[in-house]
Structures are given as C-alpha cells and as structure tokens.
Amino acid sequence: MTLRLSLYFLALFACLSNPVLAQGTETGDKKEEAKKAAEEPKVFVKSFTGRFNDERVAYTVTAGETFLKNDKGEDTASIFTVAYTKDDTSNAASRPITFVFNGGPGSASLWLHMGVFGPKRVVVPSDGRDAGAAPYLIEDNPLSILDVTDLVFIDPVGTGYSRTLGEAEGKDFWGLREDAKSIAEFMRLYLTKNGRWNSPKYVAGESYGTTRAAQLVNELQRTFTGVALNGVIMISAVLDFHAAEFAMGNSLPYVSVLPTYAATAWYHDAVPDKPESLEGFVNEARQFALNEYSVALLKGSRLSAEERETIVRQLARFTGLSETYVRQTNLKVGDFRFMKQLLRDRGLTVGRFDSRYTGEDFDDAGEHFDNDASAYGVDAAFVASVNDYLTRVLEVDFTKRYKVLDREPGRNWNWSDRDGGWPSYVNVAPHVGRGMRENKDLRAFFANGYYDLATPFFATENAVAANGIDPDRVVMEYYEAGHMMYTHVPSLEKLASDVRTFIIDGKK
C-alpha cells in the first residue's frame, strides 16, 4: 500500500469512526441546504377592507421578494415590494395598475407609500412644524387611490429590504440605465406572474423617482419589451440636471430657482409691500426670470452699470434679500446661500425640501445651514411608521434593517446614459417626448410644490417646454407646500384628487 493510499484510508476511517467529524460533515450539508432555503423569496399575504374616496374596497396586500436572474438563470437581486390589489377580479385584466417608487437615488418607497397613496398614512404637522418623537399617529387613509388603481410600491436594489444576490454587486444596479433595467425587469415579471399584461399601466415617482420614470419610458417602450405606458406621474420632478448644478458659468439653475425664491420670501413675509396673491407674485417672478434675468446672466460682464442696478433691484424684490447682498453675489444667489441668508436676521434658516420649515443653526454667521429642517422635521415619523406597519400590521418577518435612504447607491451611481462619447449632463426629458411620439396614449402628470427648493417647479416647466413633450398631453398642478407636498393636508387632498382624476381620464 502506498503512502497516499494509507493516508486516504486513515482519513476515511477517522471520519467514519469519529462521531464529531461525521457530525461536522452532516452539519455542513445542513448548512448548505439551509443557505439554499434562505435564498428562496419570502412573501407575506394579508387581506383587508378599506374605504377610499367613499368607496368600500376589499383588497389583498402582498409584501415580499421577487428574484431577478441573469442570462444564466442565476439569482442576481431580490426586489422587495408591497402590492395592493382589489379582490374583485371581474375586471382584473383591464383594471389600471400603478408602479410607485421614490428617489434618492438610494431611497425606499416609504414616502409615497405612507404619505399619500397607501391605505395607511402617518400624520405629521401640516404647517411646517417638527413632528417630534414617537408615538406618531398612523391612521386609515381614505385619500388612497386604491379605488381606481392597484398599487405596487417598489424598493430598488440597495433600498428597503431589496438587495443583491449571488455574485452580483451593487454597481450592477446602481446607475441611470442599470437601475431602470432592473425595475423594468421586475415589472415584466410582475405582469407575467399576475396576468396583468393587458392592464392600463402607470409609473409614479418622486424626485429622482421621476428621473427613473422618464428613463423607464425609454427602457420599456424602446427595447421591444412591449410595455406601452398609459401615463407617468411625476411628483417633484427632476429631469434636466443641468438646471440643478449651481456651478461657475452655468446660469440655468439661477433662472430656474428664482420663482421658488419668490414664493419662499412671500410665505415668510420677507417681501416689501407683499402682494396678496402668491400665484400672481410667482408669475411675475417667472416672467422676470425668463426675460430680463436670463438675458442679464447671459450678458455677464457685458451688462452696463445701469442695467446691472435694474436687475439688482428686481432680484432684491423677488428674493427678499438686500440689494447689497444681491450685488455682492454678482446677481447669482445659490440655493444654499439663500436658505441661510433669507431669515438670518431672525436667527432662522429655511428648509430645502420645503422652505415653509425653519431651523436654528449653532450660529448665524455661516454661509450654509447646519441641516435641512424640512428633512429632520419629518423623517423619524416616516421611518417609524413604515417599520411599524411592515412588521406589526403586515407581519413581514425580517430582522434586517429596512434601508430608508442609504447613501451608498448615490455615492456609487453611474450617471452615464450612453456608451462612450463626450461627457454630458443628464437630461431624461427627451425620453418622455419621444415616448409620446411613439405611443399616442402616453400622458404625463406633474405635481409641483411652490416651496420646493430641491426640485424647483420652474425647472420642470422649462424641461417640459424644451424637450419635445406634447403640452396637450401634460397635466401640470401646483401645491402650496414643498417637495413632499403631502405633508400639508390641503395639498395632500388636492394631490390625491388630481392623480385620481388623471387615471380616470386615461380611461376616456
């Protein structure tokens, strides 16, 4: 017997005769089986009845995972969703279905879920005050649009409970095109598994979610996927990122945000001889921005001294800032400067997501605020409500963290919309225009907050006007609140009604 054979039989004998080693082998097999079992999608189903828009609706909630696969049939990602479907199946094939997501990139869908469209909502102060600490009121939401459409709330990879699987990495999903492809694939799987291919289809997004929605128009309608959308619902839209980059030599952001400065100054009584009408004052600011101000910025140093002083006086009037400060900024007041400067004399800052909110910094001398009062004013309430709802009401049995707004996807996001070529800024608005030209039924709804400094409404108006989007198929609505206009009760009621009407009109 050779040395190699001797060692082999010794090892085999030891394994068979030693109960500890034998048990280790068996345990290893069980661990492998358990690992495989753990990688099966988890789904949690419950039934409820609610009253929405004064209609009694029996519905089923399906909270769970959908696994995406690569071309080899290997699992690459788990997409967590919460789907609400009406139990009356007599018209299931023709009943509208709306896929809903938030933005970030890196945000889960809790904001639209627990704020406006879901059957439950968290109540926060309507007047821009801090929501404070728990317990928060989580109540039935009669404004939910479940009476006119089924709803699927989607958490993209890296948000909520959604994650990568197998050998896949975050970078495979974190990008303008990568993200849209994964959501489009989820939608295809959902439509197939649930027999909904012939249903009217809508996508609804907020903030970067509107960027995703526009990219999805391209992904779904331009790649023979066969998903022609009936409508895109854009809440606090950002389509042309050129208008969001406050950089040297780029005048567009300053023009785009000016009407929102005017609305904010008007709200906080910082406007001299304050006009009675918010809408009238905002429209004045629009016309000034579109005409005199845009031309002045284009002229730059070619402005005469007289022209310059005329612009200074008008900017001071619309922004509520002093002529001296406007002059010192060379006619370009950046958004973070404005948030700090407007109420500096009162020792307050204004919020970015909603400029109705005010905050107090450690000191009043800095150029930027310490933190966004409109973010920390409501975030704890939404985080607590979604976790309470998922775990206690829907009994979703996960102990891993529900990622609300994870920074890792955003830090590693691939913003490129093409392969090779010259670098360019992101502008997805042309996708909507082309989508309309190639789908006669595609319509777009835009919800704009007057007090939203993160995604200003005038930037949205300009993007829509400049990128081939059919104005006859666009619904543009405005709300006296900010980015999350549904934190303001009158705006919440109007938004729910406006979206419901948009979907109903799509049936005509």
CB 100 within 8 A of CB 204: yes
Among the ranges given (34-38, 144-148, 413-417, 462-466), the one the predictor scored with the smallest mean pLDDT: 34-38
State the CB neighbour count (10 A cutoff) for residue 420. 5
Tokens of 499: 């979206």
pLDDT for position 32: 47
* Tens of pLDDT, residues 411-460: 999 998 877 667 678 999 999 999 999 999 999 999 999 999 999 999 99
pLDDT band for position 9 (cuts 50, 70, 90) = very low
Q: Which residue has the higher pLDDT, 183 or 418?
A: 183
Among positive and negative, which fits the CA dihedral 341, 347, 351, 352? Answer: positive
pLDDT for position 77: 97
Which ranges in 194-251 belong to alpha helices (H)? 208-221
pLDDT for position 147: 96
Give the distance from CA 350 to its chain's centroid.
Answer: 22
Domains, the chain, in order of start with CATH, read 43-242+379-505 (3.40.50.1820), 245-374 (no CATH)
Mean pLDDT to the nearest integer, 234-243: 96
195: left (phi over 0), alpha (psi -120 to 50) or beta: left
- 3-state secondary structure at position 184: helix
The β-bridge partners of 475 are 445
* Tens of pLDDT, residues 352-374: 999 999 999 999 998 889 898 98
Tokens of 79: 């997409």
* Tens of pLDDT, residues 374-402: 888 999 999 999 999 999 999 999 989 99
Mean pLDDT to the nearest integer, 171-196: 96
* Tens of pLDDT, residues 265-312: 999 999 989 999 999 999 999 999 999 999 999 999 999 999 999 999
Q: Which residue has the higher pLDDT, 316 or 33?
A: 316
Report the distance separating Cα 293 and Cα 326, nearest Å.
13
pLDDT for position 423: 67
Among the ranges given (35-44, 60-69, 98-107, 295-304), the one the predictor scored with the smallest mean pLDDT: 35-44
Q: What share of the chain is helix, strand, coil (3-state, %, to 5)?
A: 45, 20, 35
Q: Match 């869908």 to its residue by tokens.
A: 109
Report the distance separating Cα 30 and Cα 24, nearest Å.
10
Report the distance separating Cα 87 and Cα 132, nearest Å.
38
pLDDT band for position 29 (cuts 50, 70, 90) = low
pLDDT band for position 507 (cuts 50, 70, 90) = confident
Report the distance separating Cα 137 and Cα 121, nearest Å.
8
Q: Match 């080693």 to its residue by tokens.
A: 21
Averaged pLDDT of the chain: 91
pTM: 0.90
CB 75 within 8 A of CB 67: yes
Helix (H) / strand (E) containing 463: helix 457-466
pLDDT for position 36: 47
Statement: residue 34 has pLDDT above 90:
no
Statement: residue 473 has pLDDT above 50:
yes
Largest Cα separation within the chain, whole Å, is 106
DSSP, residue by residue, 13-29: HHHHH-HHHHHHHHHHH
